[in-house]
């Protein structure tokens, strides 16, 4: 019976779960931010590419 009382009183697993949830939240925030920044960066490089193609095209 003492084993079960000790098992219920043990909170070390709860701390590990809390750290896991915090890590998951940080990962989701990073993925969301990098996805938004990645889209904007892709647009910027597309604009630069178009400008370079236009600058290097022969003029008639």
For the chain, percent of residues with pLDDT exceeding 70: 92
In this prediction, residue 7 has a pLDDT band, given cuts at 50, 70 and 90, of: low
The whole model's pTM is what? 0.54
| Domain around 50 | 2-56
Q: What is the tens place of the pLDDT at every residue in 40-57?
A: 999 999 999 999 999 998
DSSP for 1-60, written as a single string = -HHHHHHHH--HHHHHHHHHHHHHHHHHHHHHHHHHHHHHHHHHHHHHHHHHHHHHSPP-
In this prediction, residue 17 has a pLDDT band, given cuts at 50, 70 and 90, of: confident
End-to-end CA distance of the chain: 93
Domains identified in the chain, total number: 1
Tell me the C-alpha distance between 30 and 12, whole Å.
27
């Amino acid at each position: 019976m003492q084993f079960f009382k000790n098992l219920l009183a043990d909170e070390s697993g709860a701390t590990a779960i809390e750290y896991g949830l915090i890590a998951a939240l940080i990962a989701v925030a990073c993925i969301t931010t990098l996805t938004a920044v990645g889209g904007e960066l892709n647009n910027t490089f597309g604009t630069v590419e178009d400008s370079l193609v236009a600058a290097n095209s022969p003029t008639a």
